[in-house]
């Protein structure tokens, strides 16, 4: 099977001056993941490495450079899901972890549960050899400035950089057919401490089923949760699967992936009037994406092996 990889760095009103940083961040992440997949590596290793690049990049709302909550602290959520087993690893409200996707992976692989939050998740991470950091190490100067402005102006939304968006995610398929989807976020700016968005909720911000495809969402979590958007997109993929040859990546498969992505975002707009976007790979590795925000940062490896990135 031909490997495939798609990434996103959030759907929101990305300003002109942030376009280059978002595009190059997506490309770096894509290159990192592809260096694993193209050499026959496992999709789980590729997706973890891909998301870590995005988490380390302050252009995005995940890991270092996440939005601050009302108290001026970073609280991160992340999830990864295995399409073959339908098992997920999800962690929420992490305050002392540089790369939340590593905790999500540890939960997926080594924990009897599928979702662990807060101090318990941090304790589990430490037991698994993931070093805890000082919460201050996750705060970028730009986000601290945005938070200070908000605080002095009763948290008016116009001060936020990507008030509700900037989440990152990826979907990876390896040559053995292993399919994984992952999402990581710092959540919304000035959220109430303890708020959990769509990203770590199975089926909302992330879902993978090897019988249909894998999805990672971005956007306003409170709307995405209402329609369980990632699972909705996978269901659209399943319904519109029109190719009988499962080994082929044909033009009708490509259409299926695009249509499923569009249908899910259409549902988000129609039923919630919310804004957001998603990326997906169908079970053959065909990429699809859609968003109803002014812009979304994304990238994928095209069938000819070229890297496509756009904002």
Counting contacts by CB under 6 A, is residue 169 touching ligand GLY?
no
The minimum distance between CB 116 and ligand GLY, in angstroms, equals 18
Counting contacts by CB under 6 A, is residue 63 touching ligand GLY?
no
Which residue of 4, 50, 188, 286 would you call a contact of ligand GLY, by CB under 6 A? 188
Counting contacts by CB under 6 A, is residue 69 touching ligand GLY?
no
Structure tokens at 227: 């329609």
Which residue of 187, 214, 277, 288 would you call a contact of ligand GLY, by CB under 6 A? 187
Counting contacts by CB under 6 A, is residue 219 touching ligand GLY?
yes
The minimum distance between CB 200 and ligand GLY, in angstroms, equals 9
Range in contact with ligand GLY (rule: CB under 6 A) among 26-34, 116-124, 131-139, 198-206: 198-206
Which residue of 199, 216, 272, 286 would you call a contact of ligand GLY, by CB under 6 A? 199
The minimum distance between CB 62 and ligand GLY, in angstroms, equals 9
Counting contacts by CB under 6 A, is residue 221 touching ligand GLY?
yes
By beta-carbon proximity to ligand GLY, the closer residue of 103 and 301 is: 103
Counting contacts by CB under 6 A, is residue 272 touching ligand GLY?
no
Rounded Cα–Cα distance for residues 223 and 138 (Å): 27
Counting contacts by CB under 6 A, is residue 277 touching ligand GLY?
no
Which residue of the set 50, 85, 93, 167 is catalytic? 167
Per the annotation, the verdict on 272 as an active-site residue is no
How many residues form the binding site for ligand GLY (CB under 6 A)?
12
The residues carrying an active-site annotation are: 167
Per CB under 6 A, residues contacting ligand GLY are 167, 185, 187-188, 197-199, 205, 218-221
């Amino acid at each position: 099977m031909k490997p495939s990889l798609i990434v996103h760095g959030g759907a929101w009103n990305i300003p002109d001056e942030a376009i280059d940083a978002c595009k190059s961040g997506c490309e770096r992440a894509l290159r990192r993941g592809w260096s694993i997949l193209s050499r026959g590596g496992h999709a789980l290793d590729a997706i973890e490495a891909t998301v870590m690049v995005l988490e380390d990049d302050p252009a995005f709302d995940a890991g270092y450079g996440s939005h601050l909550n009302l108290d001026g602290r970073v609280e991160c959520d992340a999830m990864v899901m295995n399409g073959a087993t339908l098992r997920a690893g999800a962690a929420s409200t992490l305050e002392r972890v540089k790369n939340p996707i590593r905790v999500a992976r540890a939960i997926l692989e080594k924990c009897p549960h599928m979702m662990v939050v807060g101090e318990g998740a941090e304790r589990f991470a430490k037991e698994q050899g993931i070093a805890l950091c000082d919460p201050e190490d996750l705060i970028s100067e730009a986000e601290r400035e945005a938070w200070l402005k908000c605080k002095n102006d009763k948290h008016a939304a116009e001060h936020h950089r990507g008030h509700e968006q900037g989440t990152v995610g990826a979907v990876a398929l390896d040559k053995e057919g292993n399919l994984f989807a992952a999402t990581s976020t710092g959540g919304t700016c000035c959220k109430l401490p303890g708020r959990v968005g769509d990203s770590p909720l199975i089926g909302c911000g992330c879902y993978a089923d090897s019988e249909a495809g894998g999805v990672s969402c971005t956007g306003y979590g409170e709307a995405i949760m209402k329609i369980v958007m990632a699972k909705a997109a996978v269901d659209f993929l399943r319904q519109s699967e029109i190719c009988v040859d499962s080994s082929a990546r044909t033009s009708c498969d490509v259409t299926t992936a695009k249509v499923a992505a569009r249908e899910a975002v259409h549902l988000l707009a129609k039923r919630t009037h919310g804004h957001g976007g998603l990326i997906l790979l169908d079970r053959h590795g065909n990429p699809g994406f859609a968003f109803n925000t002014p812009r979304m940062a994304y990238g994928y490896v095209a069938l000819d092996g070229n890297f496509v990135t756009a904002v």
